[in-house]
Amino acid sequence: MLIAENHLQFILEVVIMVHVGMLLIFNVIAIPLSLVLFLALMLTVVLAGIFSIDTAFLFLPFVSHHEFTHPFGPLAVFSWVTLSASASLLTEVDIKSSSIKTLSIILFFVIAVAGGIMHRSFLLLWLLGWFVGTLIMSKSFRRTSTITLKRILLVMGAGLAGFGILEILSKILNAPILSPLLRISRIEEFAMPSLTMVIKNTTFWGHVQGSCFWGAQCLGGSDGYISMPMNLINFFTLPFPLFAGVLVVKKDAIDYMLPGIFGVAFDFGYGGLLALMVWIMIVTLTGFYILRNYRSKRKNGSRMYLGREALLIGALTAFLSQSIIALFLFNRTFNGIAMLVYIFLSALVMAHILSIKRNI
């Protein structure tokens, strides 16, 4: 194994290993719909519990919260959409799934409330995941989309009401962390200086040497603004620049305040951003192509790929949702542990391609 010399090389090595590993798993292990349904249900319940407990810690004295919605939010989208797709596929093959659908609706609101209280950015990710997943499932199962103008307005109204309730609670409980307006004001205060720094110093392969926080030790790219989890880097004792401890606030100048298009461009250059956009397009088009093949086989009476189809719907939905939120709203959505989740979702989509080519 080649030893990575910087953050970008390490990310690429992990990407290759995860994608190859997922390909091997998909072509060795049978993936029946019952197994997918069970695992998706268990994962959704576990994440709902974790998010709920973590949110409860916000209101308890002397207990710290961990903000699990940042790294595991896309995983929650994946598990819930996979669960919903599995229930719909059961209906497609004339198996009753009303109880599973009811449970999925309950879990949807539990995660939405718990995650939304913890982070408003998660609520945006969650609602986008619901929207994208519903569209994909409506096309896959040839049914009328449940997304109507009335429902969109209701969701928007509920979102605005939720923001208002959080703002009121932040005043009543004297808990600024709950305030959406505080988040907006912080962005207004800090985003413009960060944006100015990024635009002035970004080059095709990184940024102007010396323009990042590390000063004279700045590498001119792969300086740790976009990275794998710090614990993973430390586990392999890789000598990379890390924003650890109090230095995290320096990383937040990009990670917390800017969309990912600026974060990726600053740390990996415009070339890195272009490569990422191309890869997102490849994964997306590949996912929809394979999904069309799965649907065709199901319509022809084959039940061999039902589990894979449910997995693909969930993974593709989560991958697209995470890509959109991370690139255009919050860089943190695919940084650190969330980067591992992002790579996992990408691999979970691309892993279907060999089985399709082998069996068609």
Residue percentage of the chain with pLDDT more than 70: 88
| For range 59-71, the mean pLDDT | 79
Q: What pLDDT score was predicted for residue 184?
A: 67
8 Å CB contact between 284 and 321? no
Q: What pLDDT score was predicted for residue 359?
A: 45
Q: What pLDDT score was predicted for residue 357?
A: 46
| For range 69-74, the mean pLDDT | 90
Q: Is 256 a residue whose pLDDT tops 80?
A: no
Q: What pLDDT score was predicted for residue 332?
A: 87
Using CB atoms within 10 Å of the CB of residue 249, give its burial: 0 to 12 exposed, 13 to 18 middle, 19+ buried.
Answer: exposed
Calculate the average pLDDT of the chain: 86
For the segment 151-162, what is each residue's pLDDT rounded down to a tens digit? 677 767 776 777
More confident residue, 174 or 80: 80
Confidence of residue 170 (pLDDT cuts 50, 70, 90): confident
Per the DSSP assignment, residues forming a β-bridge with 145 are none
